[in-house]
Amino acid sequence: MAISRDQVLYVAKLARLELGEDELERLTSELGAILDAVSKVSELDLADVPPTSHPLAVVNAWAADEPRDSLPLEDVVRNAPAVEGRMFRVPPTT
Amino acid sequence: MSTWEPVIGLEIHVQLKTRTKMFCRCRVGFGAEENSQTCPVCLGFPGALPVPNRTAIEWVVKLGLALGCEIAERAVFARKNYFYPDLSKGYQISQYDLPSCVNGNMIVSLAEGQHEIGIVRAHLEEDAAKNVHVGGRTGRIGGAEYTLVDYNRGGTPLVEIVTAPDLHSAEEAKRFLQLLRQTIVELGISDAEMEKGTLRVDANVSVRPAGSEVLRTRSEIKNMNSFTHIARGIDAEVARQIEVWESGGEVEQHTYDFDVGSGALTARRTKEEADDYRYFPEPDLAPVEPPAELVDRLRFELPELPAARIARVMKKLDHDRALVLVTGGLDRLWEATVAAGADGVAASNVIANQLVASGARPGAVDPTELAKLVDARERIPRATFAEALGKIGDHGFSAEPYLAMESVSDTSELEPIVDAVIAANSAQVEQYRGGKEGLLGFFVGQVMKETKGRADPRVVNELVRARLAP
Amino acid sequence: MSAVVDTLRLTAEEALALVERGDVSPAELHAAYLDAIGERDAELHAYLRTVEYDGATSIPIALKDVISTKGLETTAGSRILEGYVPVFDATVTSRCRQAGLSVLGKTNTDEFAMGSSTENSAYGPSRNPWDPARVPGGSGGGTAAAVSAGLAPWGLGSDTGGSVKQPSALCGNVGLRPTYGTVSRYGIVAFASSLDQVGPVAKTVRDVALLYRIVSGRDPADSTTVELSEPVELPTSERLDGLRVGVPRQAVALEAIEPGVRAAFHSSLALLGELGAELDECDLPLSFDYGMPCYYLIAPAEASSNLARYDGVRYGRRSDGATYRETVERTRDDGFGDEPKRRIMLGTYALSAGYYDAYYGQAQKVRTLLVREHAAAFERFDVLATPTSPTVAFPLGDKAADPLAMYACDLLTIPSCLAGLPGLSVPCGFSEGLPVGLQLVGPQFGENALFRAGHAVERALELDLVPERLR
């Protein structure tokens, strides 16, 4: 099950990874090999089998609508690469 | 030109007024300092985990019941993956293929009858944070120098309601939204105010030849911030699409922003991977399986809903009057007043206008007394009527003393007063007779003044006119 | 080396007794371990950073660097989190602090706990105390090497597909991957949420049980946690009469198992029989064929989403571009190493439009079958036994260039992880002078039975687990 270079590029866009040319090349072949191995799951006919997304059958884990203290600003922005005033600063979105 | 039928579906986002956010216990609210209502969970710090707000989960069930939905025995949160600075985790948590509520409907009353609008689903999700675009044309995305992010709003509980494409005019869409909003407000789960963004509406619009059952390509309109704008936006898009089809073109699937000022629709740019959200069940959250007792209790607690009440009021009144009564919380008083013998339209006018203006609390009003006043409103002096309405909310109020002050309509009593007024204003009499008939009101007013408002204005009117006749 | 205690041999239980009796103060104990680290960690690189004694009332502990520590840098072995200082403690960190434990430092890990050798750490590999030319296993190689080399009495790791059990086996420690949901994940830098579990690593089964007692139990901050169905028992018995042990035919048949590992495993089975256990073969027909493919779809899919938050906006390293999008793409390209990138790509692909059903959706269904076949096995058995790792510690660089060879290290640990079941790795012998681990898997909440079995094996074998070159 090979994956094409175009598919790898598309996935990299979705995942927001700016891959270099050599990385793109290497990943295309590595992902091809890994997909070959994992495609084994499609051998099984599982039409009637329900999916498992949680290994433990917990339901209705929720909390009461009671406010707790938020973080002080120094903690909010402590690790931020760029801050202006009380807000996080990022390059323009377009 | 009237051969085209608009087909409209709505996607409505309602911000719940819980005390805390959907998945953390930071407070929800406007006006706080930027990033003062944030914590590791809503900032998406490494290792932080979501814990659902129980009240939000109950409220979506409550809303679902009010919209006649089936309540899912098992609802599952999923992750919707995309990147944007206002999304702290790189995904939005939202119910997806197993939402809390499905298959409901709401009845919209139209002049031509009642129309059932299907509710496809109502589900819970979390709101995005707020981006502030700085520089360039301030506040606009295009040309901004940089963007600042305030995560206070991030994680606020939202309910998304999706209707079936059952609406066929902008007016119908507007009525549906007015009704939905009233329902939400009465359930006490949101302020649902479009100006504040606690109610947001996107419309999916297409047109088809009248009589056709086929759905044609639709476009989405966003960024409409009042019911009136929504109606205008829909009308504009419907007109645009009809023109495209009629000029032999093909409508393409697009998303448009509606510019409130110019009334123009601007297409948004699209990216090839824009819609590949890679939804999958959120592994950090357990499924929601609302216990039957909870659903039963919420069902039992539901008040009678606005849709049913509007339909009932509309048996006697037009839609606009019915809507005013119901949205004003006045319909129950109106019904009781009518039941006590008052005329429907008259009672509606009195209640929606004079009673509200008088400041009386509708709940404190005795409908039997109100019915007497409505009935007598043309027989008693206006001032007396106004005075009575001002006191109608008082404990133990009785209409009887006011009813006794019927207007003076006895001509033998009024004629001398009319004569005196005419005699005292000879200059105006000259002018009136010279053709300035607008002065009639002046004479009537003088008579009313002399009688301290007790004279029946219609009788006075006739008397004055007769006396002044050349 | 400090004369206070011999950290190479001191168990956590013994250390606790010393502190309780007042023979050694918590400060002296902390200092003794820092001395040992100073002496041996330049070679082993088990720690990414250490901390001075902060007034704690009990013995020290090492924490894998995926566990958030308030005020102390936490990188998950990644450049993208270089300099990131959490403003909150993980729940397990708080529980350790409440128990008086003193954090010695943060141990090395494969980047975002993705790997089986610790070679994927952005800060350089850790080395195996038994042979520094070999890997300590991974992803929690740092904690395992630290415990094995006397650089911590015990430690916490995180296990997604074997990251506690496999390095414990390769370094000669006891390691527990608990039942999914019994230990809070709050504050653990996430890899694959439906699989991640924090687990203890120590020199003895009783130490592991003690630490499990401290960190386990429902946490209101983690919606997927539950209370234990029974309290943790410290094992005492040296007999295993009546214990029903199943040996999965399909696991034992795997060619990937080295002869030396197979030999040690078979003698430990014989030992279990001598201790009174009833052994029989059992069938897990799908687990060892389909476990790996299933895991390498589910874990990367969840990882691709969990790692989306590293965008350079709120924390972590950022490489600026002209636009937000360019900044995110550059930040992630510069900040993530090869293995996280591979898994992000693989997982994004498995979830993308048109592929979900064939990959992620199908893997979730396979997972259902693995859950079912394990449940069926536990109708007949109390414990299942296999080797923990098909091989002993391998030389650095051996598998680094071949992702699939590295993935195969977890062939035996993965199936029970997918089923959410507890697994204990206990040293059961040596091959080529390197430790071999016995993996004991139990039903959900079956930790106490695993502790009993592991303890009896440990007592009967009386292996000297101090690396020969350090004795």
CA distance to partner chain C, nearest, from residue B219 (Å): 22
Contact B88 C308 (CB under 8 A): no
Q: How far apart are CA C188 and CA B447, in angstroms?
A: 87
- Does C139 sit behind a cis peptide bond, omega within 30 degrees of 0 on the bond before it? yes
Which residue is closest to C325 within chain A, CA to CA?
A93
Q: Looking at residue C52, what is its pLDDT?
A: 97
Mark which residues 49-68 of C lie under 8 Å from B by CB. 66, 68
Question: Which tokens sit at C180?
Answer: 């999914």
Domains of chain B: 4-290 (no CATH), 303-404 (no CATH), 411-468 (1.10.10.410)
Picking from B65, B74, B73, the residue whose alpha carbon sits closest to that of residue B105 is: B65
In the set C117, C126, C163, C287, the catalytic residue is: C163
Q: Does A54 reside within a domain? A: no
Q: Which residue, among C112, C158, C309, would best test binding to B if mutated, counting the most B CBs under 10 Å from its CB?
A: C309
CA distance to partner chain B, nearest, from residue C17 (Å): 34
Q: Does C309 reside within a domain? A: no
Could you tell me whether strands B146-150 and B157-163 are parallel, antiparallel, or unpaired per DSSP bridges?
Answer: unpaired
CB contacts, 8 Å: B273 with chain A: 10, 13-14
Q: Which of C324, C351, C353 sits opposite B280 (nearest CB)?
A: C351
Q: Does A13 reside within a domain? A: yes
Residue type for B139, please? G
Q: Does C313 reside within a domain? A: no
Q: Which of C74, C81, C305 sits opposite B79 (nearest CB)?
A: C305
Looking up residue A2, the CATH number of its domain turns out to be 1.10.20.60
Report in angstroms the alpha-carbon separations of B76 from A53, B4, B52, B100, B313. Answer: 10, 40, 12, 8, 40
Q: Does A75 reside within a domain? A: no
Active site residue C163: yes
Contact A53 B76 (CB under 8 A): yes
CB contacts, 8 Å: B149 with chain C: 313
- Whether residue B375 contacts residue B344, with contact meaning beta carbons closer than 8 Å, is answered with no
Q: What is the three-class DSSP state of A79?
A: coil
Q: How far apart are CA A35 and CA C352, in angstroms?
A: 14
Active site residue C229: no
CA distance to partner chain A, nearest, from residue C136 (Å): 25
Query: What is the C-alpha radius of gyration for chain C, rounded to an integer number of angstroms?
Result: 21
Q: Looking at residue B36, what is its pLDDT?
A: 97
Picking from C367, C299, C334, the residue whose alpha carbon sits closest to that of residue C113 is: C299
pLDDT 10s digits, B273-294: 568 999 999 999 999 999 999 9
Q: Token pair 């799951």 is at which residue? A: A41
Contact B278 C189 (CB under 8 A): no
- Whether residue B265 contacts residue B205, with contact meaning beta carbons closer than 8 Å, is answered with no
Q: Does A47 reside within a domain? A: no
CA distance to partner chain A, nearest, from residue B118 (Å): 29
Q: Does A70 reside within a domain? A: no
Q: Does C153 touch chain B (CB under 8 A)?
A: no
Give the sheet arrangement for strand A83-84, strand by strand: A83-84, A87-90, B146-150, B130-134
Q: Does A56 reside within a domain? A: no
Picking from B47, B216, B44, the residue whose alpha carbon sits closest to that of residue C93 is: B47
Active site residue C399: no
> How many domains are contained in chain C?
1
> How many domains are contained in chain A?
1
Q: Which ranges of C135-247 does DSSP label H, i.e. alpha helix?
A: 141-148, 165-171, 205-215
Picking from C310, C305, C295, C303, the residue whose alpha carbon sits closest to that of residue C343 is: C303
Contact C221 B51 (CB under 8 A): yes
Q: Does C69 reside within a domain? A: yes
Q: Which of A12, A52, A88 sits opposite C371 (nearest CB)?
A: A52
Q: Does C345 reside within a domain? A: no
Q: Does C298 touch chain B (CB under 8 A)?
A: no
Q: Which of A19, A51, A91 sits opposite C333 (nearest CB)?
A: A19
Residue C180, Cβ neighbours under 10 Å: how many? 26
Q: Does C17 touch chain B (CB under 8 A)?
A: no
CB contacts, 8 Å: B54 with chain A: 62-65
CB contacts, 8 Å: B81 with chain C: 304-305, 308, 351
Q: What residues make up the domain containing A36?
A: 1-42
- Whether residue B18 contacts residue B55, with contact meaning beta carbons closer than 8 Å, is answered with yes
Q: Which of B89, B279, B283 sits opposite C194 (nearest CB)?
A: B283
Q: Does C346 reside within a domain? A: no
pLDDT 10s digits, B142-183: 678 999 999 999 999 999 999 999 999 999 999 999 999 999
Contact B20 A94 (CB under 8 A): no
Report in angstroms the alpha-carbon separations of C242 from B234, C84, C275, C460. Answer: 76, 51, 10, 17
- Whether residue B253 contacts residue B268, with contact meaning beta carbons closer than 8 Å, is answered with no
Residue C234, Cβ neighbours under 10 Å: how many? 15
Q: Does the CA dihedral C169-C171-C174-C180 come out positive or negative?
A: negative
Q: Could you tell me which chains touch chain C, where touching means 3 or more CB pairs under 8 A?
A: A, B
DSSP 8-class letter at B285: S
Q: How far apart are CA C84 and CA C2, in angstroms?
A: 33
C306: which residues sit within 8 A by CB, 6+ positions away?
A: C190, C191, C192, C193
Q: Does C365 touch chain B (CB under 8 A)?
A: no
CB contacts, 8 Å: B56 with chain A: 65
Q: Does A4 reside within a domain? A: yes
Q: Does A79 reside within a domain? A: no
Report in angstroms the alpha-carbon separations of C310 from B67, B283, C11, C68, C213. Answer: 40, 19, 39, 16, 33
Q: Both ends of chain C: CA-CA distance in Å?
A: 13
Contact A92 B83 (CB under 8 A): no
Q: Does C400 reside within a domain? A: yes
CB contacts, 8 Å: B275 with chain C: 353
Q: Does C80 reside within a domain? A: yes
Could you tell me whether strands C383-387 and C244-248 are parallel, antiparallel, or unpaired per DSSP bridges?
Answer: parallel
pLDDT in 10s for each residue of chain C, 471 residues: 345 799 999 999 999 999 999 999 999 999 999 999 999 999 999 999 999 999 999 999 999 999 999 999 999 999 999 999 999 999 999 999 999 999 999 999 999 999 999 999 999 999 999 999 999 999 999 999 999 999 999 999 999 999 999 999 999 999 999 999 999 999 999 999 999 999 999 999 999 999 999 999 999 999 999 999 999 999 999 999 999 999 999 999 999 999 999 999 999 999 999 999 999 999 999 999 999 999 999 999 999 999 999 999 999 999 999 999 999 999 999 999 999 999 999 999 999 999 999 999 999 999 999 999 999 999 999 999 999 999 999 999 999 999 999 999 999 999 999 999 999 999 999 999 999 999 999 999 999 999 999 999 999 999 999 999 999
Q: Looking at residue B142, what is its pLDDT?
A: 64
User: Which residues, given as ranges, of chain B have pLDDT below 50?
Assistant: 1
CA distance to partner chain B, nearest, from residue A49 (Å): 17
- Provide the CB-side half-sphere exposure for C48 (13 A, CA): 32
pLDDT 10s digits, A53-93: 988 989 999 999 999 999 999 999 999 999 999 999 999 98
| Beta bridge partner(s), residue C154 | C202
Q: What residues make up the domain containing C422?
A: 12-285+370-464
Q: Does C103 reside within a domain? A: yes
Looking up residue C24, the CATH number of its domain turns out to be 3.90.1300.10
Contact B46 C353 (CB under 8 A): no
